[in-house]
Structure 1
Protein backbone atom coordinates (compact mmCIF):
# COMPACT_ATOMS: atom_id res chain seq x y z
CA UNK A 1 0.00 0.00 0.00
CA UNK A 2 1.30 3.45 -0.95
CA UNK A 3 1.20 5.85 1.98
CA UNK A 4 1.21 9.60 1.26
CA UNK A 5 -0.04 11.13 4.49
CA UNK A 6 -3.12 12.33 2.57
CA UNK A 7 -4.82 9.05 1.62
CA UNK A 8 -7.69 7.62 3.63
CA UNK A 9 -5.59 5.07 5.50
CA UNK A 10 -3.00 7.70 6.41
CA UNK A 11 -5.63 10.10 7.72
CA UNK A 12 -7.25 7.36 9.82
CA UNK A 13 -3.91 6.28 11.30
CA UNK A 14 -2.95 9.89 12.06
CA UNK A 15 -6.31 10.48 13.74
CA UNK A 16 -5.80 7.38 15.92
CA UNK A 17 -2.29 8.48 16.82
CA UNK A 18 -3.40 11.94 17.80
CA UNK A 19 -6.25 10.55 19.89
CA UNK A 20 -3.78 8.04 21.41
CA UNK A 21 -6.20 5.18 20.77
CA UNK A 22 -3.54 2.96 19.20
CA UNK A 23 0.11 2.13 19.79
CA UNK A 24 2.68 2.31 17.04
CA UNK A 25 3.39 -1.42 17.00
CA UNK A 26 -0.35 -2.18 16.57
CA UNK A 27 -0.72 -0.10 13.40
CA UNK A 28 0.77 -2.56 10.83
CA UNK A 29 -1.58 -5.42 11.68
CA UNK A 30 -4.67 -3.23 11.95
CA UNK A 31 -4.16 -1.22 8.76
CA UNK A 32 -2.08 -3.64 6.66
CA UNK A 33 0.94 -1.34 6.30
CA UNK A 34 4.60 -1.86 7.15
CA UNK A 35 6.18 -0.79 10.42
CA UNK A 36 8.34 1.69 8.45
CA UNK A 37 5.21 3.27 6.98
CA UNK A 38 3.69 3.42 10.46
CA UNK A 39 6.80 5.18 11.78
CA UNK A 40 6.69 7.71 8.94
CA UNK A 41 3.05 8.48 9.70
CA UNK A 42 3.90 8.84 13.39
CA UNK A 43 6.64 11.35 12.58
CA UNK A 44 4.33 13.19 10.21
CA UNK A 45 1.66 13.36 12.91
CA UNK A 46 4.13 15.00 15.29
CA UNK A 47 5.10 17.50 12.59
CA UNK A 48 1.43 18.42 12.13
CA UNK A 49 1.15 19.13 15.87
CA UNK A 50 4.28 21.33 15.83
CA UNK A 51 3.02 23.17 12.76
CA UNK A 52 -0.34 23.91 14.36
CA UNK A 53 1.37 25.30 17.47
CA UNK A 54 4.15 27.33 15.91
CA UNK A 55 3.52 28.17 12.26
CA UNK A 56 1.01 30.12 10.20
CA UNK A 57 -2.17 28.81 8.61
CA UNK A 58 -0.48 29.04 5.22
CA UNK A 59 2.33 26.79 6.41
CA UNK A 60 -0.13 24.34 7.96
CA UNK A 61 -1.94 24.12 4.63
CA UNK A 62 1.39 23.48 2.89
CA UNK A 63 2.33 20.70 5.35
CA UNK A 64 -1.00 18.97 4.76
CA UNK A 65 -0.61 19.41 1.01
CA UNK A 66 2.89 17.86 1.05
CA UNK A 67 1.94 14.93 3.25
CA UNK A 68 4.83 12.68 4.28
CA UNK A 69 7.11 14.46 1.78
CA UNK A 70 7.45 17.14 4.46
CA UNK A 71 9.58 14.69 6.45
CA UNK A 72 12.41 15.98 4.25
CA UNK A 73 12.26 19.09 6.47
CA UNK A 74 12.43 17.12 9.72
CA UNK A 75 15.71 18.70 10.80
CA UNK A 76 14.20 22.20 10.67
CA UNK A 77 11.32 21.03 12.88
CA UNK A 78 13.78 19.34 15.24
CA UNK A 79 15.80 22.57 15.55
CA UNK A 80 12.60 24.63 15.84
CA UNK A 81 13.71 26.75 12.90
CA UNK A 82 10.30 28.33 12.44
CA UNK A 83 11.60 31.18 10.31
CA UNK A 84 13.26 28.81 7.86
CA UNK A 85 10.18 26.61 7.72
CA UNK A 86 7.90 29.55 7.03
CA UNK A 87 10.15 30.62 4.18
CA UNK A 88 10.24 27.20 2.52
CA UNK A 89 6.60 26.30 3.12
CA UNK A 90 5.45 29.56 1.54
CA UNK A 91 7.17 28.54 -1.71
CA UNK A 92 5.95 24.97 -2.16
CA UNK A 93 2.91 23.92 -4.14
CA UNK A 94 1.08 20.73 -5.10
CA UNK A 95 3.79 19.87 -7.66
CA UNK A 96 6.68 20.08 -5.19
CA UNK A 97 8.66 16.83 -5.05
CA UNK A 98 10.95 15.42 -2.38
CA UNK A 99 14.09 16.49 -4.19
CA UNK A 100 12.62 20.00 -4.59
CA UNK A 101 12.51 20.23 -0.79
CA UNK A 102 16.11 19.05 -0.63
CA UNK A 103 17.03 21.80 -3.09
CA UNK A 104 15.18 24.41 -1.01
CA UNK A 105 17.04 23.33 2.12
CA UNK A 106 20.34 23.83 0.32
CA UNK A 107 19.23 27.23 -0.94
CA UNK A 108 18.18 28.32 2.56
CA UNK A 109 21.67 27.52 3.88
CA UNK A 110 23.27 29.44 1.01
CA UNK A 111 21.02 32.46 1.55
CA UNK A 112 21.83 32.65 5.27
CA UNK A 113 25.52 32.38 4.58
CA UNK A 114 25.34 35.29 2.13
CA UNK A 115 23.63 37.49 4.74
CA UNK A 116 26.14 36.46 7.42
CA UNK A 117 29.05 37.24 5.11
CA UNK A 118 27.57 40.64 4.29
CA UNK A 119 27.27 41.48 8.00
CA UNK A 120 30.86 40.40 8.70
CA UNK A 121 32.28 42.53 5.90
CA UNK A 122 30.29 45.60 6.97
CA UNK A 123 31.36 45.23 10.62
CA UNK A 124 34.97 44.75 9.54
CA UNK A 125 34.96 48.01 7.57
CA UNK A 126 33.41 49.95 10.44
CA UNK A 127 35.90 48.53 12.95
CA UNK A 128 38.85 49.46 10.74
CA UNK A 129 37.65 53.04 10.42
CA UNK A 130 36.98 53.27 14.16
CA UNK A 131 40.58 52.25 14.87
CA UNK A 132 41.86 54.88 12.47
CA UNK A 133 39.61 57.51 14.03
CA UNK A 134 40.75 56.63 17.56
CA UNK A 135 44.43 56.81 16.73
CA UNK A 136 43.97 60.09 14.90
CA UNK A 137 41.94 61.68 17.69
CA UNK A 138 44.65 60.89 20.24
CA UNK A 139 46.90 63.29 18.34
CA UNK A 140 44.23 65.88 17.64
CA UNK A 141 45.31 68.28 20.43
CA UNK A 142 48.88 68.23 19.16
CA UNK A 143 47.67 68.91 15.66
CA UNK A 144 45.58 71.87 16.84
CA UNK A 145 48.56 73.31 18.73
CA UNK A 146 50.79 73.03 15.69
CA UNK A 147 48.09 74.41 13.40
CA UNK A 148 48.36 71.33 11.19
CA UNK A 149 45.32 72.01 9.05
CA UNK A 150 45.91 69.10 6.71
CA UNK A 151 45.88 66.60 9.56
CA UNK A 152 42.74 68.13 11.06
CA UNK A 153 41.02 67.91 7.70
CA UNK A 154 42.05 64.25 7.51
CA UNK A 155 40.45 63.55 10.90
CA UNK A 156 37.24 65.30 9.88
CA UNK A 157 37.20 63.34 6.63
CA UNK A 158 37.53 60.02 8.50
CA UNK A 159 34.83 61.02 11.00
CA UNK A 160 32.50 61.94 8.16
CA UNK A 161 33.25 58.70 6.28
CA UNK A 162 32.64 56.67 9.42
CA UNK A 163 29.32 58.39 10.07
CA UNK A 164 28.20 57.85 6.47
CA UNK A 165 29.32 54.23 6.53
CA UNK A 166 27.34 53.53 9.70
CA UNK A 167 24.23 55.02 8.09
CA UNK A 168 24.92 53.27 4.81
CA UNK A 169 25.50 49.97 6.60
CA UNK A 170 22.07 50.06 8.22
CA UNK A 171 20.44 50.98 4.94
CA UNK A 172 22.38 48.53 2.79
CA UNK A 173 21.96 45.69 5.26
CA UNK A 174 18.21 46.03 5.27
CA UNK A 175 18.25 46.38 1.50
CA UNK A 176 20.23 43.15 1.34
CA UNK A 177 17.73 41.41 3.61
CA UNK A 178 14.79 42.68 1.55
CA UNK A 179 16.49 41.65 -1.68
CA UNK A 180 17.22 38.21 -0.27
CA UNK A 181 13.64 37.82 0.92
CA UNK A 182 12.41 38.77 -2.54
CA UNK A 183 14.73 36.11 -3.86
CA UNK A 184 12.79 33.45 -1.94
CA UNK A 185 10.39 32.67 -4.77
CA UNK A 186 12.89 33.27 -7.56
CA UNK A 187 16.68 33.04 -7.22
CA UNK A 188 16.40 31.37 -3.80
CA UNK A 189 14.53 28.39 -5.22
CA UNK A 190 16.55 28.43 -8.44
CA UNK A 191 19.86 28.21 -6.55
CA UNK A 192 18.78 25.04 -4.77
CA UNK A 193 17.41 23.50 -7.96
CA UNK A 194 20.64 24.17 -9.84
CA UNK A 195 22.67 22.69 -6.99
CA UNK A 196 20.61 19.53 -7.06
CA UNK A 197 20.68 19.17 -10.87
CA UNK A 198 24.42 19.72 -11.23
CA UNK A 199 25.00 17.41 -8.26
CA UNK A 200 23.04 14.64 -10.01
CA UNK A 201 25.02 15.27 -13.19
CA UNK A 202 28.33 14.99 -11.32
CA UNK A 203 27.12 11.79 -9.66
CA UNK A 204 26.29 10.35 -13.09
CA UNK A 205 29.91 10.95 -14.06
CA UNK A 206 31.10 8.57 -11.34
CA UNK A 207 31.64 11.04 -8.51
CA UNK A 208 30.70 10.82 -4.85
CA UNK A 209 28.85 14.09 -4.28
CA UNK A 210 28.16 16.33 -1.28
CA UNK A 211 26.38 19.67 -0.97
CA UNK A 212 27.23 22.72 1.17
CA UNK A 213 30.59 21.27 2.16
CA UNK A 214 32.80 23.40 4.44
CA UNK A 215 36.44 23.49 3.32
CA UNK A 216 39.43 23.75 5.72
CA UNK A 217 39.66 27.51 5.01
CA UNK A 218 36.05 28.03 6.09
CA UNK A 219 34.64 28.51 2.58
CA UNK A 220 31.49 26.57 1.80
CA UNK A 221 31.33 24.77 -1.57
CA UNK A 222 27.88 24.56 -3.15
CA UNK A 223 28.75 21.18 -4.70
CA UNK A 224 31.86 19.06 -4.22
CA UNK A 225 32.71 15.55 -5.38
CA UNK A 226 35.52 13.07 -5.96
CA UNK A 227 35.89 10.05 -8.24
CA UNK A 228 37.64 6.70 -7.86
CA UNK A 229 40.98 8.38 -8.62
CA UNK A 230 40.29 10.88 -5.81
CA UNK A 231 40.13 13.75 -8.31
CA UNK A 232 38.18 16.54 -6.61
CA UNK A 233 35.69 18.85 -8.34
CA UNK A 234 34.10 21.97 -6.82
CA UNK A 235 31.09 23.69 -8.40
CA UNK A 236 29.75 27.13 -7.44
CA UNK A 237 26.16 27.93 -8.44
CA UNK A 238 25.29 31.39 -9.79
CA UNK A 239 21.72 32.53 -10.40
CA UNK A 240 22.40 35.94 -11.97
CA UNK A 241 25.05 37.96 -13.76
CA UNK A 242 25.42 40.22 -10.70
CA UNK A 243 25.91 37.23 -8.41
CA UNK A 244 28.61 35.96 -10.77
CA UNK A 245 30.55 39.20 -11.34
CA UNK A 246 30.59 40.20 -7.65
CA UNK A 247 32.04 36.88 -6.48
CA UNK A 248 35.61 37.50 -5.30
CA UNK A 249 35.95 34.48 -3.01
CA UNK A 250 35.96 31.83 -5.74
CA UNK A 251 39.78 31.69 -5.93
CA UNK A 252 39.81 30.45 -2.32
CA UNK A 253 38.38 27.14 -3.60
CA UNK A 254 41.18 26.41 -6.09
CA UNK A 255 43.78 24.92 -3.69
CA UNK A 256 41.21 22.29 -2.67
CA UNK A 257 40.23 20.90 -6.06
CA UNK A 258 41.55 19.63 -9.37
CA UNK A 259 38.70 21.15 -11.39
CA UNK A 260 36.55 24.20 -10.62
CA UNK A 261 33.32 25.21 -12.34
CA UNK A 262 30.66 27.88 -12.13
CA UNK A 263 27.15 26.61 -12.80
CA UNK A 264 24.17 28.62 -14.06
CA UNK A 265 21.00 28.52 -16.13
CA UNK A 266 21.46 28.10 -19.86
CA UNK A 267 19.88 31.51 -20.54
CA UNK A 268 22.63 33.23 -18.53
CA UNK A 269 25.27 31.83 -20.86
CA UNK A 270 25.66 34.88 -23.20
CA UNK A 271 25.94 37.30 -20.26
CA UNK A 272 28.42 35.23 -18.29
CA UNK A 273 30.50 34.32 -21.32
CA UNK A 274 31.00 37.99 -22.27
CA UNK A 275 31.68 39.00 -18.67
CA UNK A 276 34.14 36.19 -17.96
CA UNK A 277 36.37 37.32 -20.83
CA UNK A 278 36.94 40.70 -19.21
CA UNK A 279 37.29 39.86 -15.54
CA UNK A 280 39.26 37.70 -13.12
CA UNK A 281 37.33 34.52 -13.92
CA UNK A 282 38.88 33.93 -17.34
CA UNK A 283 39.80 30.27 -17.66
CA UNK A 284 37.37 28.99 -15.03
CA UNK A 285 35.11 26.09 -15.98
CA UNK A 286 31.40 26.60 -16.70
CA UNK A 287 28.43 24.26 -16.58
CA UNK A 288 25.14 25.45 -18.07
CA UNK A 289 21.88 23.71 -17.27
CA UNK A 290 18.67 23.78 -19.28
CA UNK A 291 15.31 22.69 -17.91
CA UNK A 292 16.28 19.14 -16.97
CA UNK A 293 19.93 18.46 -17.71
CA UNK A 294 23.40 19.84 -18.39
CA UNK A 295 23.34 21.57 -21.77
CA UNK A 296 26.89 22.83 -22.09
CA UNK A 297 30.23 22.35 -20.34
CA UNK A 298 33.33 24.51 -20.70
CA UNK A 299 36.31 22.82 -19.10
CA UNK A 300 38.42 24.46 -16.40
CA UNK A 301 41.63 25.83 -17.98
CA UNK A 302 43.15 27.25 -14.79
CA UNK A 303 46.41 25.83 -13.46
CA UNK A 304 45.64 24.46 -10.02
CA UNK A 305 45.64 21.14 -8.22
CA UNK A 306 44.91 19.79 -4.76
CA UNK A 307 48.61 19.30 -3.99
CA UNK A 308 49.08 19.90 -0.26
CA UNK A 309 50.44 16.82 1.50
CA UNK A 310 47.68 14.70 3.00
CA UNK A 311 44.98 17.19 1.95
CA UNK A 312 43.48 15.04 -0.80
CA UNK A 313 42.95 12.03 1.48
CA UNK A 314 41.65 14.27 4.25
CA UNK A 315 39.15 16.00 1.95
CA UNK A 316 37.82 12.83 0.34
CA UNK A 317 37.40 11.24 3.78
CA UNK A 318 35.58 14.33 5.08
CA UNK A 319 33.24 14.36 2.07
CA UNK A 320 32.41 10.69 2.65
CA UNK A 321 31.84 11.38 6.36
CA UNK A 322 29.52 14.27 5.53
CA UNK A 323 27.40 12.02 3.34
CA UNK A 324 27.43 9.24 5.93
CA UNK A 325 26.32 11.70 8.61
CA UNK A 326 23.32 12.66 6.48
CA UNK A 327 22.36 9.02 6.05
CA UNK A 328 22.85 8.08 9.70
CA UNK A 329 21.67 11.25 11.43
CA UNK A 330 19.21 12.46 8.81
CA UNK A 331 20.94 15.85 8.34
Structure 2
Protein backbone atom coordinates (compact mmCIF):
# COMPACT_ATOMS: atom_id res chain seq x y z
CA UNK A 1 0.00 0.00 0.00
CA UNK A 2 1.44 3.39 -0.93
CA UNK A 3 2.19 5.89 1.80
CA UNK A 4 0.48 8.65 -0.18
CA UNK A 5 -2.66 7.83 -2.17
CA UNK A 6 -4.93 10.06 -4.31
CA UNK A 7 -8.01 8.60 -2.59
CA UNK A 8 -9.30 7.92 0.91
CA UNK A 9 -8.74 4.41 2.22
CA UNK A 10 -12.49 3.86 2.34
CA UNK A 11 -14.29 6.39 0.16
CA UNK A 12 -17.67 5.44 1.65
CA UNK A 13 -16.83 6.55 5.21
CA UNK A 14 -15.68 10.09 5.91
CA UNK A 15 -15.42 9.87 9.71
CA UNK A 16 -17.86 12.67 10.61
CA UNK A 17 -20.74 10.42 11.64
CA UNK A 18 -21.12 8.67 14.98
CA UNK A 19 -21.54 4.89 15.16
CA UNK A 20 -25.22 5.42 15.99
CA UNK A 21 -25.74 7.72 12.98
CA UNK A 22 -24.04 5.15 10.75
CA UNK A 23 -26.38 2.47 12.15
CA UNK A 24 -29.45 4.59 11.35
CA UNK A 25 -28.06 5.38 7.89
CA UNK A 26 -27.45 1.70 7.14
CA UNK A 27 -31.07 0.77 7.98
CA UNK A 28 -32.49 3.69 5.99
CA UNK A 29 -30.37 2.85 2.95
CA UNK A 30 -31.58 -0.76 3.13
CA UNK A 31 -35.18 0.47 3.17
CA UNK A 32 -34.51 2.74 0.20
CA UNK A 33 -32.85 -0.13 -1.69
CA UNK A 34 -35.86 -2.35 -0.95
CA UNK A 35 -38.04 0.38 -2.48
CA UNK A 36 -35.68 0.36 -5.51
CA UNK A 37 -34.61 3.94 -4.86
CA UNK A 38 -31.03 5.09 -5.45
CA UNK A 39 -29.45 6.81 -2.46
CA UNK A 40 -26.30 8.76 -1.70
CA UNK A 41 -25.14 9.65 1.79
CA UNK A 42 -23.52 12.98 2.63
CA UNK A 43 -24.39 14.84 -0.55
CA UNK A 44 -23.33 18.49 -0.71
CA UNK A 45 -26.17 20.74 -1.84
CA UNK A 46 -26.09 24.01 -3.80
CA UNK A 47 -26.95 25.90 -0.59
CA UNK A 48 -23.70 24.73 1.01
CA UNK A 49 -25.54 22.32 3.31
CA UNK A 50 -24.78 18.61 3.31
CA UNK A 51 -27.73 16.21 3.32
CA UNK A 52 -27.35 13.02 5.36
CA UNK A 53 -29.06 10.94 2.64
CA UNK A 54 -30.46 11.97 -0.73
CA UNK A 55 -32.65 9.41 -2.51
CA UNK A 56 -33.84 9.41 -6.09
CA UNK A 57 -37.12 7.51 -6.36
CA UNK A 58 -38.21 5.36 -9.29
CA UNK A 59 -40.66 8.16 -10.18
CA UNK A 60 -37.92 10.79 -10.30
CA UNK A 61 -38.63 12.45 -6.93
CA UNK A 62 -35.84 13.56 -4.65
CA UNK A 63 -36.11 12.71 -0.97
CA UNK A 64 -33.79 14.07 1.69
CA UNK A 65 -33.45 12.09 4.92
CA UNK A 66 -32.03 13.94 7.91
CA UNK A 67 -30.65 11.58 10.58
CA UNK A 68 -31.13 12.45 14.25
CA UNK A 69 -29.69 10.18 16.94
CA UNK A 70 -30.91 11.95 20.09
CA UNK A 71 -33.31 14.57 21.36
CA UNK A 72 -30.36 16.94 21.80
CA UNK A 73 -29.21 16.29 18.22
CA UNK A 74 -32.64 17.37 16.98
CA UNK A 75 -32.96 20.40 19.29
CA UNK A 76 -29.63 21.97 18.33
CA UNK A 77 -30.15 21.55 14.57
CA UNK A 78 -32.15 24.36 13.03
CA UNK A 79 -30.83 23.99 9.47
CA UNK A 80 -33.22 21.23 8.40
CA UNK A 81 -35.89 23.57 6.90
CA UNK A 82 -33.26 24.62 4.32
CA UNK A 83 -33.29 21.10 2.87
CA UNK A 84 -36.80 21.64 1.47
CA UNK A 85 -35.29 23.77 -1.28
CA UNK A 86 -33.54 20.65 -2.63
CA UNK A 87 -36.13 17.87 -2.40
CA UNK A 88 -39.70 16.85 -3.17
CA UNK A 89 -40.09 15.23 0.26
CA UNK A 90 -38.21 15.70 3.54
CA UNK A 91 -37.87 12.98 6.17
CA UNK A 92 -36.27 12.52 9.56
CA UNK A 93 -34.76 9.17 10.47
CA UNK A 94 -33.95 7.99 13.95
CA UNK A 95 -33.65 4.84 16.06
CA UNK A 96 -35.95 3.31 18.71
CA UNK A 97 -34.11 5.10 21.56
CA UNK A 98 -35.38 8.53 20.46
CA UNK A 99 -38.99 9.59 21.16
CA UNK A 100 -40.71 10.07 17.81
CA UNK A 101 -43.08 12.78 19.03
CA UNK A 102 -40.28 15.39 18.88
CA UNK A 103 -40.23 15.38 15.07
CA UNK A 104 -42.37 17.90 13.19
CA UNK A 105 -45.55 16.63 11.54
CA UNK A 106 -44.70 18.45 8.31
CA UNK A 107 -41.87 15.96 7.69
CA UNK A 108 -41.89 12.25 7.06
CA UNK A 109 -40.47 9.89 9.69
CA UNK A 110 -38.37 6.73 9.36
CA UNK A 111 -37.41 4.44 12.23
CA UNK A 112 -34.21 2.43 11.75
CA UNK A 113 -32.60 -0.35 13.76
CA UNK A 114 -29.57 -0.70 11.50
CA UNK A 115 -30.77 -3.91 9.88
CA UNK A 116 -33.70 -2.25 8.19
CA UNK A 117 -36.11 0.62 8.63
CA UNK A 118 -39.81 1.38 8.62
CA UNK A 119 -41.54 4.36 7.08
CA UNK A 120 -43.70 5.54 10.00
CA UNK A 121 -45.02 8.70 8.39
CA UNK A 122 -45.07 9.76 4.75
CA UNK A 123 -43.67 13.20 3.99
CA UNK A 124 -45.88 15.77 2.30
CA UNK A 125 -44.92 16.56 -1.26
CA UNK A 126 -43.53 19.94 -2.25
CA UNK A 127 -42.49 19.66 -5.90
CA UNK A 128 -39.15 21.00 -7.02
CA UNK A 129 -39.01 23.48 -9.87
CA UNK A 130 -37.74 22.15 -13.18
CA UNK A 131 -34.44 24.02 -12.90
CA UNK A 132 -33.81 22.78 -9.35
CA UNK A 133 -34.70 19.21 -10.34
CA UNK A 134 -32.21 19.34 -13.22
CA UNK A 135 -29.50 20.75 -10.96
CA UNK A 136 -30.16 18.07 -8.32
CA UNK A 137 -30.14 15.33 -10.96
CA UNK A 138 -26.77 16.48 -12.27
CA UNK A 139 -25.35 16.84 -8.74
CA UNK A 140 -26.60 13.35 -7.80
CA UNK A 141 -25.25 11.74 -11.00
CA UNK A 142 -21.84 13.41 -10.79
CA UNK A 143 -21.44 12.52 -7.11
CA UNK A 144 -22.44 8.90 -7.74
CA UNK A 145 -20.04 8.57 -10.69
CA UNK A 146 -17.22 10.17 -8.71
CA UNK A 147 -17.76 7.86 -5.75
CA UNK A 148 -17.82 4.82 -8.02
CA UNK A 149 -14.50 5.89 -9.54
CA UNK A 150 -13.01 6.40 -6.06
CA UNK A 151 -14.20 2.95 -5.00
CA UNK A 152 -12.61 1.44 -8.10
CA UNK A 153 -9.34 3.25 -7.41
CA UNK A 154 -9.41 2.02 -3.81
CA UNK A 155 -9.64 -1.60 -5.00
CA UNK A 156 -7.03 -1.16 -7.72
CA UNK A 157 -9.54 -1.89 -10.49
CA UNK A 158 -9.59 1.53 -12.07
CA UNK A 159 -8.58 0.87 -15.67
CA UNK A 160 -8.81 -2.27 -17.83
CA UNK A 161 -5.69 -3.43 -19.63
CA UNK A 162 -5.50 -1.79 -23.03
CA UNK A 163 -4.23 -4.93 -24.72
CA UNK A 164 -6.62 -7.38 -23.09
CA UNK A 165 -7.32 -9.18 -26.38
Task: Report how far residue 291 of structure 1 moved.
Answer: 4.7
1:299 matched to 2:122:
yes
Among 117, 137, 140, the residue aligned to 1:319: 140
Post-superposition Cα deviations, 1:253-292, rounded to whole Å, max 9, x if no partner, equal 0021111111010231xx231x23xxxx332111001252
Alignment of 1:40-189 (within 5 A): 46=1, 50=3, 75-77=7-9, 102=12, 105-106=13-14, 108-110=15-17, 188-189=18-19
Question: Counterparts of 2:146 and 2:39 in 1: how far apart (Å)?
Answer: 13
Post-superposition Cα deviations, 1:118-163, rounded to whole Å, max 9, x if no partner, equal xxxxxxxxxxxxxxxxxxxxxxxxxxxxxxxxxxxxxxxxxxxxxx
Higher-helix-fraction structure:
1
After superposing on structure 2, the runs of 4+ consecutive aligned residues of structure 1 that deviate more than 6 Å are none
Question: Counterparts of 2:52 and 2:114 in 1: how far apart (Å)?
Answer: 19
1:205 matched to 2:35:
yes
Match in the other structure for 1:285? 108
Structure 1: stretches of 5+ with no match in the other structure: 1-45, 51-73, 78-97, 111-187
1:247 matched to 2:77:
yes
Alignment of 1:215-294 (within 5 A): 215-268=45-98, 271-273=99-101, 275-276=102-103, 281-294=104-117
Contact 1:234 1:259 in 2 (8 A): yes
- Structure 1's 228 and 249: CA in aligned 2 closer, same or farther, altered over 3 A? same
Higher-strand-fraction structure:
2
- Structure 1's 291 and 232: CA in aligned 2 closer, same or farther, altered over 3 A? closer
Contact 2:20 2:69 in 1 (8 A): yes
Question: Counterparts of 2:126 and 2:59 in 1: how far apart (Å)?
Answer: 17
Task: Report how far residue 304 of structure 1 moved.
Answer: 2.5
Contact 2:26 2:114 in 1 (8 A): no
Name which structure has the greater RCO, CA cutoff 8 Å, separation 6+: 2
Among 44, 48, 68, the residue aligned to 1:214: 44
Task: Report how far residue 211 of structure 1 moved.
Answer: 1.1
- After TM superposition, the score normalised by the length of structure 2 is 0.79
Contact 1:256 1:305 in 2 (8 A): no
- After TM superposition, the score normalised by the length of structure 1 is 0.42
Question: Counterparts of 2:46 and 2:148 in 1: how far apart (Å)?
Answer: 23
Aligned-residue CA RMSD in angstroms? 2.5
- Structure 1's 233 and 296: CA in aligned 2 closer, same or farther, altered over 3 A? closer
Contact 2:27 2:114 in 1 (8 A): no
1:193 matched to 2:100:
no
Structure 2: stretches of 5+ with no match in the other structure: 155-165
